């Protein structure tokens, strides 16, 4: 499949057909194992993950300024205001992201990607969860961006979205490419009155997914105008990594990504050849800030997010107090009158729960933010270190509160210092487990 410069392309298919996997391989987010993606070397790439990937408590302009700093974009040059203007959100710059409607939040994430002026934009189901009017506005925005020369590739479950695109890539089960061409040509090829009926063709008629792939490959070789660059599937065995001009045969399991060695033609954004060709990936993303400077920006952002998040603040204050009250209750009924280890065990459990509670309420939003920022070159280690730098001092104070009553009542016979270190270690384990969730989700 060949994606032309400035085209809007949709990847459609049934559940588990590999839409997101193909998008991640094309964008370079997912480390691929075989195949090729030949891409224009000039310009930056943008990636919009599914769901919301800006902190909901931050004002919109503030959230974009942090993104600009992390990507070494000079916000003082008006980049944030320009990006908000391009997506129609200039008037909402002071509004918290979480109070925007779903369509506005999706346009806000697109604005964050526009800060680095990408030439190619990849979007994972940008209209899911939107009402028809909001989805239509997002598609109109993408069309306007494509008219300015940006190439946009998106995954979608909506046939209405796909019909608004220049081309559609139809994936059958197992990641096989069943068709690539215009929406009108797709309906004619599958003998369908609408794009929705294509899903029925892929699932029925006794035709396995691989057969659609083979059929389209032969069809595209015989029909003029469907594709301009064709090659047969690669033979098994070792192959040399070269810019291969791809044909629309079976997608296979994954792709490797590299840049053009020779300048492509003006109307080609990138070409995929998803045959068996082992190699490694390299993609060109927005330049990230220096590691120390990046970490400081993340620390400032985390501190501001924490200060603005009322629910998180309630957890920060309420959790150690709740654990302390439980310990007071246990002391009152004599449950802690046994060995010193009993008191310490309850305190350790309280510290573990507190560490978990300090991050779990925010992990869903954090995982999406981290996924988007990993694409732009931010490291997971810096992201987690910045979270820890903000939460550890608060966690250390919370553990002091947890141990206050047992110490005053003389139940820490092994010494307050040792007990505090044990409870703090338990809190760190809890916090580490909670932080691991967004880190793992971002790598999926």
CA distances (Å), origin 424, targets 189, 307, 336, 348, 420: 64, 23, 20, 8, 6
What pLDDT shows up at residue 114? Answer: 93
Interatomic CA distance for residues 216 and 46, integer angstroms? 30
Please name the helix (run of DSSP H) or strand (run of DSSP E) that holds residue 38, with its range, or none: strand 36-39
**288 contacts 376 by C-beta, under 8 angstroms:** yes
Among residues 131, 163, 150, the alpha carbon closest in space to that of 86 is found at: 150
Helix axes 416-442, 380-408, angle to 10 degrees: 150
10 or 376, higher pLDDT: 10
Q: Does the model's pTM come out above 0.85? A: no
Interatomic CA distance for residues 424 and 394, integer angstroms? 11
Other CB atoms within 10 A of residue 384 CB: 19
**4 contacts 269 by C-beta, under 8 angstroms:** yes
**Which strands, in side-by-side order, build the sheet including 36-39?**
2-4, 268-273, 36-39, 258-259
What pLDDT shows up at residue 254? Answer: 31
Q: 8 in helix, strand or coil? A: strand
- Residue ranges and CATH numbers for the domains of the chain are 2-43+117-273 (3.40.50.300), 291-442 (no CATH)
Token pair for 116: 């680095």
Whole-number mean pLDDT of the chain?
Answer: 76
Task: Give the mean pLDDT of 422-432.
Answer: 84
Strand bridging mode 44-48 / 118-124: parallel
Whether the pLDDT of residue 172 is over 90: the answer is: no
**76 contacts 149 by C-beta, under 8 angstroms:** no
> What stretches of 252-346 adopt beta strand conformation (E)?
258-259, 268-273
59 or 51, higher pLDDT: 59
User: Tens digits of per-residue pLDDT, 16-49?
Assistant: 888 999 998 888 887 677 778 877 665 688 999 8
Interatomic CA distance for residues 70 and 37, integer angstroms? 27
Whether the pLDDT of residue 247 is over 60: the answer is: no
Interatomic CA distance for residues 146 and 150, integer angstroms? 5
Dihedral angle computed from the Cα positions of residues 401, 403, 404 and 409, in that order, rounded to the nearest 10 degrees: 160
**Which residue do the tokens 């590691």 mark?**
291
Question: By percentage, how much of the chain surpasses pLDDT 90?
Answer: 25
């Amino acid at each position: 499949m060949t994606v032309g410069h400035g085209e809007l392309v949709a990847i459609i298919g049934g559940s588990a057909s590999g839409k997101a996997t193909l998008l991640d391989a094309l964008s370079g987010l997912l480390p691929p194992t075989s195949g090729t993606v030949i891409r224009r070397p000039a310009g930056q790439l943008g990636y919009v993950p599914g769901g919301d990937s800006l902190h909901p408590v931050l004002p919109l302009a503030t959230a974009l300024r942090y993104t600009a700093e992390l990507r070494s974009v000079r916000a003082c040059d008006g980049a944030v205001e320009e990006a908000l203007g391009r997506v129609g959100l200039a008037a909402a710059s002071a509004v918290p992201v979480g109070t925007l409607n779903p369509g506005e939040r999706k346009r806000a994430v697109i604005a964050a990607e526009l800060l680095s002026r990408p030439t190619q934009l990849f979007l994972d189901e940008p209209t899911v969860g939107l009402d028809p009017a909001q989805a239509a506005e997002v598609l109109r925005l993408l069309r306007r961006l494509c008219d300015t020369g940006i190439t946009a590739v998106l995954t979608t479950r909506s046939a209405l979205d796909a019909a608004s695109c220049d081309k559609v890539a139809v994936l059958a089960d197992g990641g096989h490419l069943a068709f690539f061409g215009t929406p009108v040509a797709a309906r004619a090829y599958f003998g369908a009155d609408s794009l929705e009926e294509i899903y029925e063709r892929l699932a029925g008629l006794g035709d396995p997914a691989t057969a659609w792939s083979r059929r389209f490959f032969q069809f595209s070789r015989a029909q003029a105008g469907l594709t301009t660059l064709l090659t047969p599937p690669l033979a098994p065995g070792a192959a040399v990594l070269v810019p291969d001009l791809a044909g629309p045969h079976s997608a296979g399991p994954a792709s490797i990504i590299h840049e053009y060695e020779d300048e492509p033609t003006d109307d080609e954004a990138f070409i995929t050849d998803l045959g068996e060709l082992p190699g490694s990936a390299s993609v060109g993303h927005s330049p990230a800030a220096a590691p120390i400077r990046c970490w400081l920006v993340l620390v400032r952002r985390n501190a501001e997010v924490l200060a603005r998040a009322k629910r998180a603040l309630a957890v920060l204050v309420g959790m150690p107090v709740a654990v302390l009250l439980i310990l007071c209750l246990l002391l009152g009924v004599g449950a802690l009158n046994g060995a010193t280890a009993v008191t310490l065990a309850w305190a350790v459990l309280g510290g573990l729960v507190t560490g978990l509670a300090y991050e779990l309420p925010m992990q869903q939003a954090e995982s999406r933010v981290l996924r988007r920022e990993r694409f732009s070159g931010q490291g997971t280690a810096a992201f987690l270190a910045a979270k820890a730098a903000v939460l550890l001092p608060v966690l250390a104070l919370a553990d002091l509160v947890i141990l206050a009553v047992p110490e005053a009542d003389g139940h820490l016979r092994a010494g307050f210092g040792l007990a505090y270190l044990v409870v703090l270690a338990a809190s760190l384990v809890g916090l580490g487990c909670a932080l691991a969730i967004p880190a793992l989700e971002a790598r999926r």
